Amino acid sequence: MKRSVLLTTVLFLGMGSVRLSAELVHLSRYVQRMPSQGNSVFIQIVPLTVLREYCGDAEGCKVGLRLEDEVELAAKSTRFYIGEADSQQWLSEASQTAGMHRDGDDDADDILTVIGTSSSCTFADNDGGIADQINGFSVQGITSPVFVSTTCTLIIED
């Protein structure tokens, strides 16, 4: 659900002068949950339309990744940016390799990773496999012991 608020700013400029401004701020969030049951690798594509809508402007978006299983709860977050002019360019403050990256360049890069004792969750620029041959991003989960049920949750905030 997209919510918006009117942000009003009052600037006192001195000598009795005041300047008012207002802008519409959208408060929105996208949540994608991915559960798994024991000893597996699981992958889910994140819709490109969602990433472009939430992260494709100058502000980028806040991306959170949460791992939950019977043993632990872990989470991380970062700012994520998709190029406005070229939507294949992206940048993440938490990326293991600093600087701008390119989607679809045959080199899958992690945007954000949460590692637990027996499970892990990764948000990456691969297209659902281990490569990055076409445009696309995905959430991948790995759980080791057969008895562990893991849920990876991706939260994207405007």
pLDDT of residue 130: 63
26 or 86, higher pLDDT: 86
Enter the pTM of the model. Answer: 0.75
Q: How far is CA 100 from CA 103, 120, 123, 146, 158, in A?
A: 10, 24, 16, 38, 20
So where are the chain's domains? 29-157
pLDDT of residue 1: 38
At residue 131's C-alpha, the angle toward residues 124 and 51, to 5°, is 35
pLDDT of residue 96: 66
**What number of H helices and E strands is found in the chain?**
1, 12
Find the mean pLDDT for residues 87-94.
76
Phi and psi based region of residue 16 (left: phi greater than 0; alpha: psi -120 to 50; beta: remaining): left
Find the mean pLDDT for residues 67-77.
90
Q: What average pLDDT does the structure give for the chain?
A: 77
102 or 87, higher pLDDT: 87
Confidence band, pLDDT 50/70/90 cuts, at residue 94: confident
Which amino acid is present at 45? I
Segment 96-151, tens digit of pLDDT: 666 666 565 656 677 899 998 888 998 888 766 666 666 678 888 888 776 678 89
For residue 22, how many other CB atoms are within 10 A of its CB? Answer: 10
Token pair of 11 as six digits? 């600037």
116 or 23, higher pLDDT: 116
Element (H, E) at 50: helix 48-55
